[in-house]
Amino acid sequence: MWLLPRTSSARTLTGFYAGLLRSGSMNLINRPPADPRWQARRPGERVRRSGPYLGPVRLTPTRVTLGIALGGSALFILYGVIVRDPAQIPLLSAGFAVFGIVFTTLALAGAIETYRVARDGQGARAFGLALLGGIAALIAAGSFAIAAVLALVWRG
């Protein structure tokens, strides 16, 4: 029959569990220190930020890629509006299609971030992210509609 030790001292329990776990890496006595990123902070203690930041916003590869695509498609649309030649309508159609893809990705990222923040209990931030994600979805739908209309005008 399985019996736990009668004393509740930490040394006895630690020794008891260490006896069950024979491997050295799982031994409770010689455990390596925990990663400080996952430990609770004291009030007023600052957290070291890792990675590049632009003000309060962390620059991730996804954000940089979407920023470049957004800026590139906006410049492409501006070029299509300014230059007068036979390829103007296809240029505008392609520019608005890429614009729609970028804003669709932004809306999807907003939905994922809204769920994550709401799960953590930050209701006001989740509402703001949901609002911005909805606006991004509306811009994406409008961009795709403009791209489709321009493609239809160019074809016939």
Using one digit for the tens of pLDDT, what is the confidence trace for 94-124? Answer: 999 999 999 999 999 999 999 999 998 899 9
Question: Is the model's pLDDT at 7 over the cut of 80?
Answer: no
The band of 154, judged by pLDDT with boundaries at 50, 70 and 90, is confident
* Residue 77, in any domain of the structure: yes
Six token digits for residue 16? 């008891």
- Give me the residue label for tokens 């932004």: 106
SS3 of 8, please?
coil
**Angle between helix 123-155 and helix 88-119 axes, rounded to 10 deg:** 160
Q: How far from the centroid of its chain's Cα atoms is residue 134's Cα?
A: 16
Residue 39's pLDDT is 66
- Residue 150 near residue 89, CB atoms below 8 Å: yes
The tally of domains found in the chain comes to: 1
Residue 16's pLDDT is 54
Using one digit for the tens of pLDDT, what is the confidence trace for 18-69? Answer: 555 555 555 556 666 666 666 666 777 676 777 788 888 788 888 899 999 9
* Residue 98, in any domain of the structure: yes
Higher pLDDT, 146 or 85: 146
Residue 18's pLDDT is 54
Residue 6's pLDDT is 54
Which range of residues forms the domain containing residue 116?
A: 70-155
Six token digits for residue 54? 């632009």
Longest alpha-carbon distance in the chain: 90
* Residue 6, in any domain of the structure: no
- Residue 63 near residue 57, CB atoms below 8 Å: yes
